[in-house]
Amino acid sequence: MGNEGLAEAAHAKPASHPRYRDELNFAEFPIAAVSDVVPDNQKTLEFTDEIFDPSSGKTVARTLTITAADKFGLPTALDDEVLLGLIQLTSEQEFRDRRVHFSRYGLIKLLGWRDESKSYKRVEDSLNRWAGVTLQYRKAWWSKEEKCWVNETFHVIDQVSVFDRERIERRRKMAKDQPEKALSSFAWNETVFQSFQAGYLKSLDFDFYKSLAGAIAKRMYRFLDKRFYHRGRWEFDLRTFACEHIGLSKNYSNSELKRKLLPAVLELEGRGFITPLPEDERFRKIERGSWRTVFVKAQPHPRGSPSQEADGDALVRELVARGITRRSAQKLLAHHPRGKVEEKIRLYDRLKVGGGGGAIRNRAGWLYAAIVNDYAVPPEPTPTRISRGEGSATAATGVATAPDATVARDAPDDETLAFESFWGALAAAEQEEFERQAVAEASPFHQKQYHAGLAGRGTLWAVTRRRVLQHHFARTRPPAAWRGAGRGGSSQERTAARPPAEGPP
């Protein structure tokens, strides 16, 4: 634990029994980008939809506009997590006061981030960002007291005091009988706090939320969890759902929106939150340019039910052995060629054996994404013989055919492992931004090959894409960092590419 953590932990209040909560207005619309990176020149986000208002008997057009302060910019996916953490700290104090005393150490542990200086700085930056952000709701903020959608404009947080180690010690000596005076604090805006006190809150499985692999899955979970309180089946216009409630780019085509949503859908299916549906039922074409998407709340299966026991597919067992749930494994095999699944299992095992999986914080989530997004597989070096062992792919899967089968095991070069480790640690939106920059800085020849093959996504396109991504990685990450990053060691250059972990390692 760093010096800041030692100082703050010494005066942090012991955590009470968790009663996790989510503010329902914040669950309805995104109040942050769904990525961890926002372009410097983007200062505004806007989300809008229409909804039937039972209080007036009319359809209401709702709009939320988020405006950033110049210095700190728009809130990101990690800022959204910090804000959710602040709600939990306030819940621990039973929403008694809009000023909340806290330690950054306690907040970092609550969020599951690493206890390191970068995390403390990230929390402070996030608090300052929320203090500078303006939310303007136009018929989009539900007033529980008035029972209708109202207009409100406010900063989420009105004031922030973050104490460094020296100030903590000084204030501790000044107020021995009031230990909270030695803690940092923030003050909610009055509009937000009134909503807390009015009880416009819902229960939240915060541990489940933190365990989800990506920002899109987390955003979908919060929104659908709110809606499932009213009924177990919801159908939305695809663009409204994806762009206005999840926060995906409005520049995406319908096919791109489905592709971006699918990994999160598969994860929520596999985790037992939503019922698995065939893709043609999940996404239904109504007419040209118009699609609907359907979500059904999953019902827990009785222990020992056939759906839990009947499947004897060895490839399902191999996926389960690597942390993917049985239901999710069945879904993956239903939508992806078995050969591709086996290929990604081999890639996963190579990274794990070679140490490159050390930077992958959610290994099951990474394997999911590798299958769904068809991660490119680097050439395997000179093969060596391995014997079959527990947890490795078996002959029944076709991944390894016999105890003496020749299987590539020698780790790829340091740069390849470093790239795989770096790529697997990125959220989907970060991968998209990295790929956009990589293509923009590629040679004209590679740009032409990339764009020419983008629609078909064939083998040549995949090879070109891999080369473009890895070349950009080599340009932006110094070779001195490859060995540490690629083989599970620490690398300041690699960790600097991404804010603190979104969840437990």
Contact in structure between 210 and 112 (CB atoms under 8 Å): yes
One digit per residue, pLDDT tens: the chain, 505 residues? 544 554 454 444 544 445 899 999 999 999 999 988 888 889 999 999 999 887 778 899 999 999 999 889 999 999 999 999 999 999 999 999 999 999 888 999 999 998 898 999 999 999 999 999 999 999 999 999 898 899 999 999 999 998 766 655 555 556 666 555 658 899 999 999 999 999 999 999 999 999 898 899 999 999 999 999 989 999 999 999 999 999 999 999 999 999 999 999 999 998 889 999 999 999 999 999 999 999 999 986 544 444 443 344 788 888 888 888 877 788 788 777 888 888 889 888 887 765 554 555 567 777 887 888 778 777 655 444 433 333 333 333 333 333 233 333 333 455 666 677 677 667 777 788 888 888 888 888 888 888 888 877 777 788 889 889 888 888 876 554 444 443 333 333 333 333 333 232 2
- Tell me, what DSSP letter sits at residue 73? B
User: Quick one: 244 and 188 in the same domain?
Assistant: no
User: Quick one: 282 and 348 in the same domain?
Assistant: no
Q: What is the pLDDT of residue 203?
A: 94
Nearest one of 7, 166, 31 to 86, comparing CA atoms: 31
Q: What is the pLDDT of residue 414?
A: 56
Q: What is the pLDDT of residue 421?
A: 67
Residue 501 forms part of a structural domain = no
**Distance (Å, whole) CA 397 – CA 147:** 57
User: Quick one: 174 and 249 in the same domain?
Assistant: no
Q: What is the pLDDT of residue 477?
A: 67
User: Quick one: 315 and 386 in the same domain?
Assistant: yes
* Structure tokens that stand for 343 in this block: 């290929």
User: Quick one: 260 and 348 in the same domain?
Assistant: no
Contact in structure between 43 and 74 (CB atoms under 8 Å): yes
Contact in structure between 496 and 121 (CB atoms under 8 Å): no
User: Quick one: 244 and 327 in the same domain?
Assistant: no
User: Quick one: 413 and 461 in the same domain?
Assistant: yes
Orientation angle between helical segments 215-227 and 77-92, nearest 10 degrees: 50
Contact in structure between 150 and 143 (CB atoms under 8 Å): yes
Measured in Å, how far apart are the chain's first and last C-alpha atoms?
Answer: 16
Classify strands 134-143 and 99-102 as parallel, antiparallel or unpaired.
unpaired
Contact in structure between 358 and 421 (CB atoms under 8 Å): yes
Q: What is the pLDDT of residue 302?
A: 47
Encoded amino acid at 4, one letter = E
Examine the fold and report which residue of 296, 322, 344 is the final residue of a domain before the chain moves on.
296
Residue with tokens 């391995």: 386
User: Quick one: 394 and 456 in the same domain?
Assistant: yes
Handedness of CA 80, 83, 85, 91 (dihedral sign): negative
Widest pairwise Cα distance in the chain: 73
Q: Whole-model pTM? A: 0.61
Residue 214 forms part of a structural domain = no
Residue 84 forms part of a structural domain = yes
- Tell me, what DSSP letter sits at residue 400? S
Classify strands 384-385 and 290-296 as parallel, antiparallel or unpaired.
unpaired
User: Quick one: 372 and 292 in the same domain?
Assistant: no
Examine the fold and report which residue of 248, 272, 296 is the final residue of a domain before the chain moves on.
296
Q: What is the pLDDT of residue 258?
A: 95
Residue 60 forms part of a structural domain = yes
Examine the fold and report which residue of 296, 320, 349 is the final residue of a domain before the chain moves on.
296
State the residue range of the domain holding 264.
225-296
CA torsion angle for 238, 242, 245, 248 (degrees, to 10)?
Answer: -160
Which residues, in sequence order, are bridge partners of residue 274?
297
Orientation angle between helical segments 459-476 and 414-425, nearest 10 degrees: 90
- In total, how many domains does the chain have? 3
**Distance (Å, whole) CA 358 – CA 425:** 9
Residue 219 forms part of a structural domain = no
Contact in structure between 36 and 427 (CB atoms under 8 Å): yes
Question: How many Cβ atoms are within 10 Å of 32's Cβ, its own excluded?
Answer: 26
Q: What is the pLDDT of residue 320?
A: 86
Q: Indicate the SS3 state at residue 351.
A: helix
Contact in structure between 422 and 474 (CB atoms under 8 Å): no
User: Quick one: 151 and 258 in the same domain?
Assistant: no
User: Quick one: 335 and 287 in the same domain?
Assistant: no
